[in-house]
A and B are shown apart, each in its own frame.
Chain A
Amino acid sequence: MKKTVFVGALTAAATLVAGAASATVLEEVQARGVLNCGVSTGVNGFSAPDSAGEWQGFDVAICRAVAAAVLKDPKKVKFVSTTGQTRFTALASGEIDLLARNSTWTFSRDVDLKFTFAGINYYDGQGFMIKKSMGVSSAKELDGATVCIQTGTTTELNLADYFKTNNMKYEPVPIETNAEAQQQYLAGACDAYTTDASGLAATRATFADPENHIILPEIISKEPLGPLVAQGDDQWADIVRWTLNALVAAEEFGITSANIDELSKGTTNPEINRMLGSSEEDLGGMFGLDKEWSKRAIAAGGNYGEIFAANIGESTPIGLARGLNALWTQGGLQYSPPFR
Chain B
Amino acid sequence: MAMMSETQGSSFRLSMLIYDTRYRSITIQIIFLFLMMAGAAWLIDNTLANLAEKGKDIDFSFLWARAGYDINQRLVDYTNDSPHWVAWVVGLLNTLVLAAVACITATVVGVMAGVLRLSNNWIISKLMAAYVEMFRNIPLLLWILVIYAVLTEITPSPNQFRGDNPSASMFMFDSMAITNRGSYLPSILFSRSLGDVNLGLLTVGVNSLVLIAIIIASVFGYRALQHSAAATQESTGDRPVTWWKSLLILFGPLILAMIAMGAHLELPVLKGFNFSGGLFVRNSFIAMWLALTLYTGAFIAEIVRAGILAISKGQSEAAFALGLRPGRTMSLVILPQALRVIMPPLISQYLNITKNTSLALAVGYMDLRATLGGITLNQTGRELECMMLMMLTYLVISLIISGSMNVYNNSIMLRER
Residues of B within 8 A of A152 (CB): 374-375, 378-379
Residues of B within 8 A of A323 (CB): none
Whether A6 lies near B38 (C-beta < 8 A) is: yes
CB-contacts of B101-134 with A (<8 A) = none
Whether B273 lies near A145 (C-beta < 8 A) is: yes
Binds A, one of B53-61, B135-143, B393-401: B53-61
CB within 8 A of A176: which of B35, B158, B273, B362? B362
Whether B71 lies near A88 (C-beta < 8 A) is: no
Shortest Cβ gap from B17 to chain A (Å): 11
Number of interchain pairs (Cβ within 8 Å): 121
Whether B370 lies near A189 (C-beta < 8 A) is: no
Chain B interface secondary structure, helix, strand, loop or mixed?
helix
Whether B364 lies near A174 (C-beta < 8 A) is: yes
CB within 8 A of B272: which of A143, A151, A174? A143
Whether A88 lies near B180 (C-beta < 8 A) is: no
Q: Does A212 contact B (CB under 8 A)?
A: no
In the complex, per-residue mask of A175-193: 1 if CB is within 8 Å of any chain B CB, else 0:
1100000011001111100
CB within 8 A of B274: which of A108, A144, A157? A144
Residues of A within 8 A of B34 (CB): 3
Given known pairs A188-B157, A188-B180, the reply for A151 and B53 (CB within 8 Å) is: no
CB within 8 A of B276: which of A21, A144, A184, A191? A144
Whether A157 lies near B379 (C-beta < 8 A) is: yes
Q: Does A134 contact B (CB under 8 A)?
A: yes
Residues of B within 8 A of A134 (CB): 159, 273
Q: Does B7 contact A (CB under 8 A)?
A: no
Q: Does A290 contact B (CB under 8 A)?
A: no
User: What separation, in Å, do the CA atoms of A118 and B290 have in the docked complex?
Assistant: 47
Whether B72 lies near A114 (C-beta < 8 A) is: no
User: What separation, in Å, do the CA atoms of A230 and B69 have in the docked complex?
Assistant: 26
Whether A21 lies near B364 (C-beta < 8 A) is: no
Q: Does A324 contact B (CB under 8 A)?
A: no
Whether B55 lies near A114 (C-beta < 8 A) is: yes
Q: Does A32 contact B (CB under 8 A)?
A: no
User: What separation, in Å, do the CA atoms of A160 and B56 have in the docked complex?
Assistant: 28
Whether B180 lies near A189 (C-beta < 8 A) is: yes
Residues of B within 8 A of A109 (CB): 381
Whether B69 lies near A156 (C-beta < 8 A) is: yes
7 residue pairs from A and B, CB less than 8 Å apart: A13-B42, A21-B53, A145-B274, A170-B70, A172-B69, A187-B153, A189-B157
Chain B: residues with CB nearer than 8 A to chain A?
31, 34-35, 38, 42, 46, 49-50, 53-56, 68-72, 80, 149, 152-153, 157-159, 180-181, 271-274, 276, 283, 361-362, 364, 366, 370, 374-375, 377-381, 383
